[in-house]
Amino acid sequence: MERRNSVERRHSLERRPKSLGPGIRPQVQVSEIWQHRLPSGGNVQVCLVADQQMLNQAAYRLNMLRPETVTAMDFQGINLANGGRLCLGQIVYHDGVNLNCFLFDMIQLGDSFQVLMPFLQNGQVSKLIFDVQHAKTLAQQFGITLAGIFLAPCAFEMLASRPASTMIDLLEWCGVAPPFARSEALMMERAPELWSHRPLAKDTLVVGVQSICYLHAAGHVLWMRLRSTCGPNAGHMVLNNSHTRVQTVAAVGWQLRQAGQDAPDPELNDWLARRFGKPDTSTTEPEVADNYELNTAVREGDSPRTASWRATVAKVQGSSSRAVSRSAGEPSRQRSSSPTLESWIARRNAVFKSGDQPKVHRATSLPPRPSEFIKDNESFKPTSPTMEPFRMASLNLDQLAGDGRTWAEMLDDERAGEDALFKDLQKEEQRRLAQAEGEANIAQ
């Protein structure tokens, strides 16, 4: 049997490769293909594209799609609203038999992502997206002008007469979002750096696959509701409106690209430098050199959520420690500033050798003198009847000695006394009953 290479490996998300151990964790993403089970019950064929060979195969399959095929597309990254670098691209479509999903590792692919330009600029294949700002980012970073776009917010505004603030609002309105979709989206919104971790964690991939599949399912719901509510031409009206918005936003991206303002996000570059390699502290700014300390906070085997939490805590603690150290003109120190035992002993010995020993302050006050009224215990008598119980009477120790009986003997004596008492009461009761019965006989 011919041995499969890394590109042809197929396994599910539940059987992802195990960690290679501390110190051997890979820092690259490997292309993979697997079957994923959606919460709705269906299956999706997922293809994670992270190398040139797999990218060429994905581009060929996307270019061969028929015009009637509806695709859904989304992009993930850090600070995308301000021109941040894209980290992951998501495209899903149904070929009539299976649901297929492509995840493009745009960090590793780099400019090779332009291979998808014929598909992205093909106006014959509909592409459902939610965020129109992706058109600006693609034009600015890759010189790609999207075509054939169907904006989901445009359809939602026509149907609901209000804007959709987030994609989760759209999915819930269409009835295709699972119960935990909002919490997952909120987690990824608070920790967008998870999209930059390489290799991508299992939970991050699950969120990426399921979110784009939900958007694809919402597209069918929007199209059917447009036709049934607003008429058969409503869908084409949304397409025209989407085309106008995309062209307007893409023009802004092209202006930035031509003006040379397509530089990557400095914050993302700094994070990647700290995550995958130590920067040159001799030529970089002090802030960049200090930010490398965040990389030491992430430990091997940490989940994406734990790694993000450690990086945030290190960033907060590092900023405060650097502010203190810079004010004193000393280098930053991550550990506690409390003295160690050795340094404390050294300081104490230095003080003793110098002869300048600190003066010991001892208490100089004396206990209070007894009052003249209570010098003689015999003459001090309480004048109030309420004070009589508090008189200090001398105790006779012989009275506390007891009679020498054990607890068992004392309990036996108490039980014997109780038995005798009950016998007396029983006899008295029998006598009373006999007397009452005699009086009753006499009366008859």
116-154 residue pLDDT tens: 999 999 999 999 999 999 999 999 999 999 999 999 999
Q: Measured between alpha carbons, how far is 317 from 312 in angstroms, rounded to an integer? A: 9
Cα 395 to Cα 384: distance, rounded to the nearest angstrom: 23
Name the token pair of 178.
């699972």
Greatest mean pLDDT range, 68-77, 254-263, 395-404: 68-77
Range 6-13+27-263 has CATH code 3.30.420.10: yes
pLDDT digits (tens, 9 = 90+) for 355-407: 665 555 555 555 566 555 455 554 445 555 555 554 544 445 555 556 666 76
Inter-residue contact 174 to 128 (CB < 8 Å): no
User: What is the C-alpha separation between 251 and 135, in angstroms, rounded?
Assistant: 9
**Which three-class secondary structure state does DSSP give residue 43?**
strand
Spatial separation of the C-alpha atoms in residues 254 and 99, rounded to whole Å: 34
User: In 3D, which of 221, 174, 181, 188 has the Cα closest to residue 70?
Assistant: 221
Sketch the domain layout of the chain as residue ranges: 6-13+27-263
User: What confidence score (pLDDT) does residue 288 get?
Assistant: 43
Q: Taken in order 295, 297, 300, 304, is the CA torsion positive or negative? A: negative
Q: What pLDDT score does 289 carry?
A: 45
Alpha-carbon gap, residue 15 to 36, rounded angstroms: 11
The reported pTM is 0.57
What's the pLDDT tens digit per position in 225-243?
998 998 888 888 999 999 9
Neighbours of 137 (CB within 10 A): 24
In the chain, % of residues over pLDDT 70: 65
**Other Cβ atoms within 10 Å of 294 Cβ, number:** 19
Within 10 A of 135 (CB to CB), how many other CB atoms are there? 27
